[in-house]
Structure 1
Amino acid sequence: MILITVGTEKFPFNRLMRWVDLLLQHDLIGEEEVVVQYGTCTVLPGGARVYRLLKEQDFQDLVRRARLVIAHCGEGTVLLLDSMDTPFLLVPRSQRYQEHVDDHQLELAQALASIGVPIAWGPADLVRFLAEPSKVSIGDLSVAAARAVCHRLEQLFPAGSPSPQPLLPPPLTR
């Protein structure tokens, strides 16, 4: 079972729902059950079992049972998923698409990607990770990796500087 959660934000994450719908339409997920907690999304993937909101215990039970969790890149969600023993893939929300108030999820995703945490920048990344999910624990990072994340965040937010410009995902490579 694949669990997809977009959180409960007031901003819909329809871009991710469209990606999942595309994968389901083209049979790129196969026969595996897809469960979606969609929050405020107005686009829902056909063929998925959907819930607007799940109780915390029900959500954690689904995470434990899932082969893979695909989630937004919110700090709380990242910490929760990292504490559980299920492979996860993060998809950052963007202000550019009216999915969040700012681009801090993009910034966090870039910092996490620099230390090997799986991030999906587009539907092709979802397909790749579905084929070969891997469990990366942020808690098991070496001191050097933790310093690399801190260094990356310092580059994004230098002391005394104005708000950083929104970051865009890296271009897709072929």
Structure 2
Amino acid sequence: MILVTVGTEKFPFNRLMGWVELLIQQDLLGDEEVVVQYGTCTVLPGGAKVYRLLKEHDFQDLVRRARLVIAHCGEGTVLLLDGMETPFLLVPRSQRYQEHVDDHQVELAQALASMGVPIGWGPGDLVRFLARPSRVSIGDLSVAAAEAVCTRLEQLFPVRP
């Protein structure tokens, strides 16, 4: 089973829903069940089992049962997924597409990508991840990699006195 989750943000993430729809239409998922937690999305992939919202224990159960997870790059979701064994791909919401108020998810995704965490910048990245899902734990990365991410985040978000 593949789980797709976009969290509970008030802005729809229809771009990701369109990508998932394309994967289903092109039969790139075969007979595998697709479960989507869609939040406020107004575009839903046909053929998927969809839930607007899930209780936390139901969501965690789905993550545990999933072969892989495709998720928005929200901090809470990232932390939850990192603590579980399921391979995941993060797709950042973008202000450019009116999916969030700013690009903090893009900036977080850039920092995580520099650590080797799989990021979906486009539909092709989803296809590659589906073919070869990888599991990278943020907590298992080297001190040097963690320091590089901290440095990058400090550059993006300078401390203001």
Q: Where on the TM-score scale, by shorter chain, does this alignment land: which range?
A: over 0.9
Structure 1 length as normaliser, TM-score? Answer: 0.90
Letter in 2 for 1:16: L
State the partner residue of 1:21.
Answer: 21
Pairing of 1:1-174 with structure 2 (within 5 A) = 1-160=1-160
- Specify the code of the residue in structure 2 equivalent to 1:86: T
SS at structure 2 position matched to 1:126 = helix
Give the AA of the match of 2:137: S
Separation in 1 of the partners of 2:64 and 2:159?
Answer: 40
**What displacement does 1:158 show?**
3.3
**C-alpha distance in structure 2 between counterparts of 1:30 and 1:130, whole Å:** 11
The more displaced of 146-155 and 84-93 is 146-155
How much identity, in percent, do the aligned residues show? Answer: 87
- Across the aligned residues of Structure 1 and Structure 2, the Cα RMSD in angstroms comes to 1.1
1:71 is paired with a residue whose SS is: strand
Measure, in 1, the Cα distance between the counterparts of 2:22 and 2:139.
33
User: In the comparison of the two structures, how many residue pairs are matched?
Assistant: 161
Supply the AA of the counterpart residue of 1:114.
Answer: S
Letter in 1 for 2:147: R
Alpha-carbon deviations, 1:95-118, whole Å to 9, x = none? 111111110000000000001000
Read off the aligned partner of 1:153 and give its amino acid letter.
L
Name the CA distance, whole Å, in 2 between partners of 1:13 and 1:153.
Answer: 24
Letter in 2 for 1:104: H
Q: Quote the Cα distance in structure 2 between the aligned partners of 1:124 and 1:142.
A: 28
Runs of 4+ in 1 over 4 A off after TM superposition: none
Aligned-partner Cα distance in 1 for 2:154–2:54:
36
One-letter amino acid of the counterpart of residue 157, structure 2? F
Structure 1 unmatched ranges of 5 or more: 161-174
Structure 2 SS opposite 1:16: helix
- Where structure 2 has 5 or more consecutive residues not aligned to the other structure, the ranges are none
